[in-house]
Structure 1
């Protein structure tokens, strides 16, 4: 790992989600964004635990290689950061709309909101330790724009953060996040933490699949990706003392699976052995 890469990675943004049980129990909206969806095959709906363990998304191929000219972030520039993240969000919408079409599922994009303070949402207060979060209650990604964030202009780092939060929206539309909410609500604390780790590690994997197919456009070199994995192994768990996001090496494992295999088929954390999601 090169020393410049290590320096850029030292301020990786932490991602989280805020869950609204009432909103989580609803069905995804149907707003097709791609022609592929209009001719999507109908897939028999899965219910109960199968929505997490045998979701139709797992049967789809790699994410499409959408063009993603997101530009560059200038250190200290909120405008360039917002522009970069907005463009990455648009690319994510294009890719996931096509992927949902392959699975015969309806897709609608989330709202993206940039904030300079820890605002509350339909899901309650800003999650402790998070640089941003996805709220299932209003289907919005909240992204904190702070001095600390703006000091780091390393695009792949921020793209991974955006892709992780977007992955929670993917989980919401696919029914996985509502399943988590219903199940965790009645689970003992240890079981709830185990479910949370499976959910968060899946988001790591789905996010990394997107980075894998857009690596050239987003300037994710193999050297820099390996540096991100090494940093995550050593530090990824430090923001989450309850271990609700998984150990650093577990995070790195699922990031690497997603990046290398580039599709949801690699990201079924809900049937993975406990040792890979601890």
Structure 2
């Protein structure tokens, strides 16, 4: 992926105390092993709604006030990983601004917050173990970049474009929030069964995968910045974080009624759908007869 030298977004907020990269994958608290608990939490929260929003603070309602972090600042200029996500975020801004403009609308871009360990959000306290997530209450994407190491070392999903897919998926949730889709799904909570709510969550997540595919399509048209194997790395990431794959990895078997993000095959299908068509209309998972 030939991203260096491209525009970087100004909508990146660096809350990391030390500024630069860092190794390891924290779980918020102390002394908790990075075993099945991480896989279970990833299966619940990665690439989509984090556990906090799932339990009822999705649209900021009932969420905790955002604690003051001090003045927000941009990542240091010599931080290559931060430059990468800033460049990907800038590309999502370009793509979705154009799509919204074509529909006669303005696209208010989200902020992307880089943090370590834990951080306050409008959806409660975000923690690294949740994986990357989007909070509708403050319209920010939260990312502990140590998760990229977890993708490579534990989930078998290496590659820069796999990481770009992570960012694009979370931005997809922002688009859903702007469209009012997230609020409609949240409004159903408590009115339908847990299995039905999970099914709605799956459709929400698969649509965000499809929106990530749209971004891949449009950004490639504009920049021609993908190398051979880049799309395959994103597809592999989608396979590795399917609910069935994660559940089998953590407990040895899958429970379809408990899926909240979709199976590996479904996630691959909808990312591919977005990439092949570049069409928002083609990403209507809510009216699709089959997923």
Deviation at 1:185, TM superposition (A): 4.2
Q: Distance in 1 between matches of 2:97 and 2:120?
A: 28
Q: Distance in 2 between matches of 1:190 and 1:255?
A: 24
Q: Distance in 1 between matches of 2:259 and 2:129?
A: 13
- Normalised by the length of structure 1, the TM-score is 0.67
1:184 and 2:177 correspond: no
Q: Distance in 2 between matches of 1:80 and 1:270?
A: 38
Which residue in the other structure is 1:64 paired with? none
| CA-to-aligned-CA distance 1:161-208 (integer Å, 9 cap, x gap) | 100000100001111111111123422101100100000000000011
Q: Secondary structure at the match of 2:124?
A: coil
Q: Higher mean Cα deviation, 14-23 or 258-267? A: 14-23
Relative to structure 1, the CA distance from residue 175 to residue 21 in structure 2 (aligned partners, 3 Å threshold; closer, same or farther) is same
Deviation at 1:106, TM superposition (A): 3.5
1:58-77 → structure 2 map (5 Å cutoff): none
1:23 and 2:55 correspond: no
Which residue in the other structure is 2:288 paired with? 272
Structure ranking higher on relative contact order (CA contacts 8 Å, 6+ apart): 1
| CA-to-aligned-CA distance 1:94-129 (integer Å, 9 cap, x gap) | 221221122233421111100111334211243785
- Which of 197, 200, 204 is the equivalent residue of 1:195? 200
Kept in 2: contact 1:127–1:133 (CA 8 A)? no
1:194-273 → structure 2 map (5 Å cutoff): 194-215=199-220, 217=223, 219-221=225-227, 223-230=229-236, 232-233=238-239, 235-237=241-243, 238-239=245-246, 242-273=258-289
Relative to structure 1, the CA distance from residue 92 to residue 105 in structure 2 (aligned partners, 3 Å threshold; closer, same or farther) is same
Q: Distance in 1 between matches of 2:98 and 2:110?
A: 15
Q: Secondary structure at the match of 1:184?
A: coil
| CA-to-aligned-CA distance 1:29-62 (integer Å, 9 cap, x gap) | xxxxxxxxxxxxxxxxxxxxxxxxxxxxxxxxxx
Kept in 2: contact 1:14–1:239 (CA 8 A)? no
Deviation at 1:22, TM superposition (A): 4.7
Relative to structure 1, the CA distance from residue 22 to residue 131 in structure 2 (aligned partners, 3 Å threshold; closer, same or farther) is closer
1:119 and 2:156 correspond: no
CA-atom RMSD, angstroms? Answer: 3.1
1:162 and 2:167 correspond: yes
Q: Secondary structure at the match of 2:126?
A: coil
Work out the number of aligned pairs and report it.
Answer: 213
Q: Distance in 1 between matches of 2:204 and 2:171?
A: 13
- Which of 171, 174, 195 is the equivalent residue of 2:179? 174
- Normalised by the length of structure 2, the TM-score is 0.64
Deviation at 1:255, TM superposition (A): 0.8
Deviation at 1:220, TM superposition (A): 3.1
Unaligned 5+ residue runs, structure 1?
A: 1-11, 25-77
Q: Higher mean Cα deviation, 223-232 or 136-145? A: 223-232
Relative to structure 1, the CA distance from residue 227 to residue 155 in structure 2 (aligned partners, 3 Å threshold; closer, same or farther) is closer
Q: Distance in 1 between matches of 2:125 and 2:97?
A: 30
